[in-house]
Amino acid sequence: MPDYLTVVDHPLVQHKLTIMRDKETSTAGFRRLLREISHLLAYEVTRDLEMTTKTIQTPMREIEAPILDGKKLALISILRAGNGLLDGILELIPAARVGFVGLYRDEETLQPVQYYFKVPEALEDRLVIAVDPMLATGNSSVAAIDLLKKAGARNIRFLCLLAAPEGIARMKEAHPDVPIVTASVDEGLDEHGYIVPGLGDAGDRMFGTK
């Protein structure tokens, strides 16, 4: 089990993140960097996966070699920006099962409302990694984890690119059993709930929308 909060301070992660934050970086560049950085973050969030061994024959002799144990893990993308992290992680863990959680914010109550939910079977037996590049207020992340727990998930991790202290505090209060892995803890939120200094709207930056 990782620490409650892991900030991945690897030089390659921090270098790529700086280019992603730069508003002059193109959509294509942003997307490519997000894919690259997601490999490095996936490496960190899976570093203590359970292992077993398997007997194999190398061209030289027989050995007991390490392989991953247990059921395939479940990657859950919190739509839509989660898909950017998901694609890169799947390149590293191609056998993972994949689910999607779609939430929008009700303009009156400001509370997240579910519009899509499709997750792999037997969530209770899998390591579940929920991905969303931005942990801002934490409202949608907390709601997404609520839904995953209702669907049976018991062993969940949350992977993001940037986190605001407000979002971390909200997640810790609601889901202290869900460790967070991020590339940076930024200063805070602006009056619109955007992370500062942040990188803007992650979905817009990766899909080229406004």
Hey, which residues are catalytic here? 105, 109, 201, 204
Within 13 A of 1's CA, how many CA atoms are on the CB side?
A: 9
Q: Which is nearer to ligand URA, 50 or 107 (CB)?
A: 107
Q: Which is nearer to ligand URA, 120 or 167 (CB)?
A: 167
Closest contact distance (angstroms) between CB of 177 and ligand URA is: 24
Within 13 A of 14's CA, how many CA atoms are on the CB side?
A: 8
Q: Check whether 164 is labelled as a binding-site residue.
A: no
Binding site for ligand URA (CB under 6 A): 81, 134, 136, 194-195, 198, 201-203
Token pair, residue 180, equals 């967070």
Closest contact distance (angstroms) between CB of 52 and ligand URA is: 39
For residue 188, count CB atoms less than 10 angstroms from its CB and return exposed for 0-12, middle for 13-18, buried for 19 or more. middle
Closest contact distance (angstroms) between CB of 41 and ligand URA is: 17
- Return the DSSP state at 96: -
Token pair, residue 46, equals 């899976």
Q: Which is nearer to ligand URA, 6 or 140 (CB)?
A: 140
Q: Check whether 190 is labelled as a binding-site residue.
A: no
Q: Check whether 195 is labelled as a binding-site residue.
A: yes
H-assigned helices in 54-163: 82-92, 139-150
Sign of the alpha-carbon torsion through 85, 40, 130, 104: negative
Q: Which residues are annotated as a binding site for 5-phospho-alpha-D-ribose 1-diphosphate?
A: 80, 105, 132-140, 201
Q: Residues at the annotated binding site for uracil?
A: 195, 200-202
Q: Which residues are annotated as a binding site?
A: 80, 105, 132-140, 195, 200-202
